A and B are shown apart, each in its own frame.
Chain A
Amino acid sequence: MNVPRVVLVDDHGLFRSGVRAELGRQVEVVGEADDVQPAIGLIASLLPDVVLLDVHLPGGGGQAVVEAIKPEHPEVRFLALSASDAPEDVIAVIRAGARGYVTKTISTAELADAIRRVAAGDAVFSHRLAGFVLDAFAAAPSPDGLKPAFDPELDQLTGREREVLRLIAQGYTYKEIARELYISVKTVESHVSSVLRKLQLSTRHQLTRWAAERRLT
């Protein structure tokens, strides 16, 4: 497989140079940007395979970049990266169209692996994101007893998907999950992609409420 072309978008120069040095030749870093507007211009001109995108940018947050690029260049894939991981911010970037989310404490090998995975069109869930998603899609009935508009295709996780997410939350790699559940890595990947699709498309009432409850007030 070709080495994926990557653009780094992060407002911390120290972090960018660190990632660039660590990733070395595992990926090809073709450009760096430190804010929303420069990032949009750079990505549109370079059209990289993967954009490594900080959730928190001074000029409007990572989702602004995703929202600006997605309609014109759907082939550019985004991997969200954050040190803070406030759940609602992370979910917002994912819902804008990012293919995954990892924390900045991730090891270099795992980061390179995540980039390759996103470049190949798969989804990447960190253990923390898996926890958020399980929480957001929790099967708890709404306390008011009202049933919101409900699309079982999109608004609920299957049992298998929940199992996969639980294992990711426990720190399992895809390979370990495949072995644990006696399925192939490809199947694990398709479960994760399906969860990502639901996360992006679901209009589930609880998802919004969940994010709202966790908003910093």
Chain B
Amino acid sequence: MALIASSGIARHDGCVEQPPRWPGDCDPIAPWHRGSFWRRHGGTGGPLRRDTSDRLLGGVAAGIAAWRGFNPTAVRIVFVLIALVTTGFGVVAYVGAWLLIPAAGADGSIASRARSDSRGIALAIGLATLLTLALLVGGVFNDGWFASWAWPQVCSVAGLVLIWRNGSADEQATLRHYAEPLSAAAGETSRNRRSAIRLALSAVLIISGAISLASAHASLALLRPLGGVALVIAGIVLILGPWWLRIARDLSVERQARVRAEERADIAARVHDSVLQTLALIQRRADDPQKVVWLARMQERELRSWLFEGRAPNEADEDTTLAAGVRRIQQDVEARYGVPVEAVIVGDCALDENLSALLAAAREATVNAAKWSGASVISLFAEVEPEEVSLVVRDRGRGFDPSSVPEDRKGLAESVHGRMSRRGGTVTVTSAEGEGTKISLKMPRAAGQPAGRA
């Protein structure tokens, strides 16, 4: 068969000592070629296998690329160029390679399986002879140019029939995919009106284009044959356009599906690291309600910051803004004293020395409330305004009479006062026995700082 001869020439091409390589590439690869567009790496070194994971048709080009370390796209371009230069025999070589080279991971080539498929062989021969007959008839009306392009395709079609019948399910699907518009043109899709209209329109275009081409005389201006070519192309685009679009769409859908799968894996990993671990801990600590509540709240906060603020769990929380500082207080107090802290933060701004002092004071006030108030929850409210930042720590705990403050609490209040007043801030403590405590802290913002809101 012609294809064997053609591929044999391509392989040996005068450099017998070299391992088989692509024509025109017999020279040893220069070092600077490594990692270039053409050559990516030294190759896998193993036997030549079709790479079915990265294929457009049969994975021949991808297989050769992986085998010798070339860029698959470059190999494909070379294939197409060869097919053009050899007036189509390159296609035959490709189909032959598809038949003869086993797929990666498969134990035999398609050809070895096809040998026992007598019906397939009969079908291939039958189809080939039918096409040959048609071409002979067609060739009478044309010059040799037509025939020289047509003969290789007869061989290819015969080969493709064998692949179709004996290839893996995947490869059959690929062929079906590419053959679809042909069966559509054969009238299968006339079931819906739009494609019927489309077919009729393109038929008119192609026929009028062909007539225009056929009736071209030397005496006529060049305009007519050109117009004919344009009409034929328009007709073909009309037939095949939707199919091309669908292939493009299928590819992007597949890519999206892959991205989604990766995202899902990422989420699953995170959920496992955080939520499932915490749930396991909660089950083990079921006898300690306070610990359970604490675990649940810690997990909730972590999940929330990941879902809504885009921060990874366990990511170092850089306390460079007020909001981050307040969240840190909430986190630390809950962790150390097991008292839930409800934090509401309005606006945000960068921290400076004044605001760091404000946060330190707020931390003392919150810790104080957690230790002494006996409240079941502490509210932490921060608001950034253009001129000042206010922070309110409030609990509904036992409270105290400010006029008769016990010594230990007075000390704390004074340290809060000290921190604030040194920086020009103010502290207001409101409390009554049995009614909880509210500590309002206000700190003026440094002049000239814009009211940045996060």
Contact = CB atoms under 8 A, between A and B. Distances in A.
Contact of A135 (B347, B386, B438): B347
A38 interface: no
A121 to B, nearest CB: 26
Contacts of A86: 307-308
A173 B66 CA distance: 70
A96 interface: no
A71 to B, nearest CB: 31
A216 interface: yes
Contacts of B346: 131, 134-135, 138, 169
A127 B342 contact: yes
Contact of A127 (B308, B310, B379, B453): B379
Interface in B338-388: 342, 344-347, 377, 379, 381, 383, 385-386
Given A130-B344, A140-B386, A171-B394, A166 B307 contact: no
B451 interface: yes
B453 A138 contact: yes
B344 A169 contact: yes
Interface string A158-179: 0000000010011110000000
B383 A84 contact: no
Interface in B1-15: none
A43 B344 CA distance: 34
Interface string A123-159: 0000110110011001111010000000000000000
A140 B347 contact: yes
Interface in A172-217: 172, 214, 216
Contacts of B386: 139-140
Interface string A107-131: 0000000000000000000011011
Given A86-B308, A166-B383, A216-B310, A171 B377 contact: yes
Interface residues of A, number: 21
B392 interface: yes
Q: Give the most central of A139, A166, A171: most B CB within 10 Å.
A: A171
Interface string B279-301: 00000000000000000000000
Contacts of B453: 135, 138, 140
A74 B344 CA distance: 32
Would you call the interface of chain B mostly helix, strand, loop, or mixed? mixed
B345 A131 contact: yes
Q: Give the most central of A128, A141, A169: most B CB within 10 Å.
A: A169
Contacts of A143: 450
A117 B342 CA distance: 23
Contacts of A127: 342, 344, 379, 381
A139 B385 contact: yes
Contacts of A130: 344
A128 B344 contact: yes
A70 B381 CA distance: 34
Nearest to A127: B344
B267 to A, nearest CB: 13
A63 to B, nearest CB: 18
A86 B347 CA distance: 16
B330 to A, nearest CB: 13
A169 B381 contact: yes
A166 B381 contact: yes
A216 B308 contact: yes
Contacts of A135: 346-347, 453
Nearest to A173: B396
Given A127-B379, A140-B453, A166-B381, A216 B345 contact: no
A48 B345 CA distance: 35
A11 B13 CA distance: 70
Given A134-B346, A138-B453, A140-B347, A171 B307 contact: no
B275 to A, nearest CB: 13
A1 B308 CA distance: 40
A127 B379 CA distance: 9
A151 B272 CA distance: 49
Nearest to A168: B344
A134 B308 CA distance: 19
Q: Give the most central of B379, B381, B386: most A CB within 10 Å.
A: B381
Given A140-B451, A216-B308, 4 more contacts: A139-B386, A169-B379, A170-B379, A214-B308
Across the A-B interface, the 3 shortest Cβ-Cβ residue pairs: A131-B344, A171-B379, A169-B344
Interface of A: 84, 86-87, 127-128, 130-131, 134-135, 138-141, 143, 166, 169-172, 214, 216
14 contacts: A84-B304, A84-B308, A127-B342, A131-B344, A131-B345, A131-B381, A135-B347, A140-B386, A141-B451, A166-B381, A169-B379, A170-B379, A171-B379, A216-B310
